[in-house]
Amino acid sequence: MVKVPAQFHIGPVLIAPATVLAPMAGVTDTVFRRLIRQQGGCGLLMTEFTSSHGVVATQKARKPTRTFRYLAFEPEEHPITAQLFGADPKVMAEAARVCQDLGFDAVDINFGCPVNKVVKCNGGSGCLRDLPLVRRILTEVRKAITIPLTMKFRAGWNDKELVYLEMGRLAEECGLQAIALHPRTREQGYAGRADWSRIAALKAATKTIPVIGNGDILTPEDACRMVAETGCDAVMIGRAAASNPWIFRQIQEYVTTGSYFRPTERDRYDMMRKYYDMMSDQAAPDTVGKMKQFATYFTHGVRNGSKLRTIIYQSQTVSEILEKVDAFFQGELVAA
């Protein structure tokens, strides 16, 4: 069995094991990242993708904003990367300097987001149609910081405008320390299959920096299969981690022993309760909304999960949600 590597480097930063939590808007905040870190097995955490214009505006205003909450992190989250998006090279460079000053281990640039409101501003995957702009952004940001610079991107705008090999060359020429490819196109969104052969082609064409593979990893077996089929240096997991926060631990166990932990109903309850307790301790304005959002993810695999989701969606306060989660699982565990 070809295994997920035990480690890799992003410049001088050691990532061990070679697994990365993908940046996900509305998901990978500091609470979720710390939950992932506590489960074990994740080598590198990444923030939600963050507007470079928002970072710079907040820095100039010198007052806390929602944008800066995206960049909040705790010491136990190291190594951690800040992910930025934008299309103005100067603004991107200034935002990257702010992230370096905040103590991040690396900065990542998002050239993959397919969402319309980002793309219409030429951010995210919108930049894939303007490679000279990509070069200017990479050049300016690389000059602005001393910590490692990486980027995450899609294969291209559509199947007729594939630019992932050119993006790899740009990364090497501009002095980046790693790249991550999600091999779907912007046009695909999250539909269809992630074509891992594109990751393999990028790895074969890239000589000096690590290639991180992303897309359609749902199980530990998938992670090892991606490495076997593509030769990638590390794997990045997004949506599967939201519904299965144990996946990084499972990958580490699988490559070590050939088998892995499978959560029981009790484990699912304990994990859900832990996340909700962490959320309530944070006392953010959107705590109830976040609890409802994560109910969608965390009830995946729970017996009678649809019933639990309905109960949570109908609740109005943090205490009500906690009480109803406790009561639900108490009944389910007794029934089991």
Rounded to whole angstroms, the Cα distance separating 149 from 11 reads 9
Rounded to whole angstroms, the Cα distance separating 249 from 261 reads 8
Rounded to whole angstroms, the Cα distance separating 255 from 240 reads 18
For residue 237, the SS3 value is strand
Give every CB contact of residue 273 below 8 A, 6+ residues apart in sequence.
322, 325, 326, 329
For residue 230, the SS3 value is helix
Rounded to whole angstroms, the Cα distance separating 314 from 320 reads 10
Q: Is 189 left (phi over 0), alpha (psi -120 to 50) or beta?
A: left
Please tell me which residue in 113, 127, 174, 224 is annotated as part of the active site.
113
CA distances from 22 to 35, 131, 264 (A): 14, 23, 25
**Residue pair 198/183 in contact by the 8 Å Cβ criterion:** yes
Q: Is 113 designated active site?
A: yes
Instruction: Output the CA torsion sign for 178, 221, 43, 114.
Output: positive
Q: Taking the CA atoms of the chain, what radius of gyration do you get in angstroms?
A: 20
Residue with tokens 């690389």: 142
DSSP 209: S
Residue 218 has a CB neighbour count (10 Å cut-off) of 13
The residues annotated with a catalytic role in the active site are 113
